[in-house]
Amino acid sequence: MKPLERVRAFVAVNLPAEAVTRVAELQRQLKPKAAGLGLRLGWISPANLHVTLKFLGEIPREVVPAISAALERCVAGIEPLPVTVQGVGAFPSPARPRVIWVGVQSPGGALEKLAARVEHALGELGFSPEARPFHAHLTIGRVREGGGDLTAGAPEAPVDQCALSELVLYQSVLSSRDAEYTPLFRLPLPQPPRAARERAERRAEESSRDGEEGSEDARDDDT
Cα 129-135-136 angle, rounded to 5 deg: 115
Condensed to tens digits (0 to 9), the pLDDT of residues 113-124 reads 999 999 999 999
CB atoms within 10 A of CB 193: 12
Q: How far is CA 98 from the centre of its chain?
A: 18
**pLDDT computed for residue 80 by the predictor:** 84
3-state DSSP assignment of residue 85: strand
Higher per-residue confidence, 191 vs 109: 109
Asked if 60 contacts 191 with a C-beta cutoff of 8 angstroms, the reply is no
Q: Give every CB contact of residue 139 below 8 A, 6+ residues apart in sequence.
A: 44, 49, 99, 100, 101
Amino acid at 145: E
Closest CA to 223 of 124, 131, 132: 124
Higher per-residue confidence, 138 vs 86: 138
Q: How far is CA 119 from the centre of its chain?
A: 13
Q: Cα(58)–Cα(38) distance, rounded to whole angstroms?
A: 35
Mean pLDDT, residues 88-101 taken together: 94
Asked if 81 contacts 190 with a C-beta cutoff of 8 angstroms, the reply is yes
b/e 27-57 (16+ beta carbons within 10 angstroms → b): beebeebbeeeebebebbeeebbbbbbbebe
CB atoms within 10 A of CB 79: 8
Q: How far is CA 64 from the centre of its chain?
A: 16
Condensed to tens digits (0 to 9), the pLDDT of residues 59-83 reads 999 999 999 999 999 988 888 899 9
Q: How far is CA 16 from the centre of its chain?
A: 14
Q: Cα(211)–Cα(198) distance, rounded to whole angstroms?
A: 20
3-state DSSP assignment of residue 37: helix
